[in-house]
Amino acid sequence: MIAFPNCKVNLGLHVTAARPDGYHNLETFFYPLAVHDALEIIPAVAPRFTATGLDIPGDPDDNLCLKAWHLLKNDFPALPPVAIYLHKAIPLGAGLGGGSADGAFMLRMLNERFSLGCSLERLEEYAARLGSDCSFFIRNTPALATGRGEMLEPFALDLSGYSWLLVCPPLHVSTAWAYRQLEPHPPAAPLRELLSLPVLAWKDRLVNDFEAPVMAAHPEIARIREQLYAAGAFYAALSGSGAAVFAIFPKNKIAALPWESGYRVFSIP
Ligand SMILES: C[C@](O)(CO)[C@H](O)COP(=O)(O)OP(=O)(O)OC[C@H]1O[C@@H](n2ccc(N)nc2=O)[C@H](O)[C@@H]1O
Ligand SMILES: Nc1ncnc2c1ncn2[C@@H]1O[C@H](COP(=O)(O)OP(=O)(O)OP(=O)(O)O)[C@@H](O)[C@H]1O
């Protein structure tokens, strides 16, 4: 069985409070975008993980795909071992939730392939144990998120009438570091109100709290956003804790910009 985990971007992100468990409460809007990994599972004699494409740092045993299998194996002892093949194309440490998407798609695939009978709600609970961003990818539809990012409310905002550009400089921003830079505070205006404004009105209103500290540490990221606005973007912002910057352009009006070598750029017309 094969699936194509996609990435997400955050439209607005407020970090509202530090929590006793070391995490933070946030308020954000998750929007799925069509930049994909490829993930295949094949029944095997023992669990096995093979990765190609972009390099994934760290121990392969810590990969969220394997972690997802172990999580379900714990509650479903009859779950057969699988060989997992992951082709990684979603940039890592970019705030695009690529690892989270792989983990969530793995849960969905195992549930379907081996008829485990888990509801979407139950899969979301498993996903939350893999990572804060992970639950979103179970339904994978636009949603407002609160709590650690795992409390989801569908929010029907269709942005398919625009063209998107995703610009990923060769920088890896640590999510834990980014959270430590912030002074949590309640948002000035509720996110759902801001999202209801026309896209053209979002600039300077729809804020990602990570932008100030991340752009101060990496001025290159601020320059990317400036270039995107100068090229006619309706809205441009950091995704999650970065380093990816996304831009929303009028349909089929994405400017061809001379990005430096080493940048990964994805265009979604
Ligand atoms: C920045 C975002 O991408 C916005 O969507 C997410 O909040 C990050 O979610 P994620 O990568 O799934 O994060 P996790 O793997 O759960 O946590 C990584 C680290 O980020 C910090 N973290 C994460 C989520 C959260 N709500 N509060 C936090 O403080 C914690 O230090 C944690 O140890
Ligand atoms: N399947 C996976 N793909 C990518 N990274 C993974 C995966 N499984 C575990 N990881 C670990 O997670 C780290 C970051 O993953 P990810 O690509 O989700 O980061 P991110 O872009 O910062 O996402 P987020 O928006 O969740 O913060 C990697 O450095 C890697 O060590």
In this prediction, the answer to ipTM > 0.85 reads: yes
Task: Find out whether 142 and 105 touch, Cβ atoms under 8 Å.
Answer: no
Ligand 2 shell residues, CB under 6 Å: 56-58, 62-65, 86, 88, 92-100, 102, 133, 175, 240-241
Q: Residue 256 has what pLDDT?
A: 87
Q: Residue 188 has what pLDDT?
A: 85
Helix pair angle (120-130, 98-113), 10° resolution: 140
Residue 140 CB less than 6 A away from ligand 1: no
**Six-digit token pair at 52?**
């190609």
Tell me the mean pLDDT per 10 residues along the chain, length 269. 98 97 97 98 96 96 97 98 98 96 98 98 98 97 98 96 97 94 92 96 96 97 97 97 96 90 95
Task: Find out whether 186 and 60 touch, Cβ atoms under 8 Å.
Answer: no
Q: Which of 126, 175, 207 to mutate to test the pocket of ligand 1 (most atoms within 8 A of CB)?
A: 175
Domains of the chain: 2-154 (3.30.230.10), 162-268 (3.30.70.890)
- Identify which of 220, 223, 156 has the alpha carbon closest to the alpha carbon of residue 192: 156
**Binding site annotation covers 93?**
yes
- Residue whose entry in the numeric block shows the structure tokens 């979103």: 136
CA distances from 25 to 9, 28, 90, 132, 191 (A): 18, 10, 26, 10, 14
**Binding site annotation covers 120?**
no
Ligand 1 centroid to residue 179 C-alpha, Å = 8
Q: Residue 211 has what pLDDT?
A: 98
Q: How many angstroms separate the CA atoms of 38 and 90, rounded? A: 10
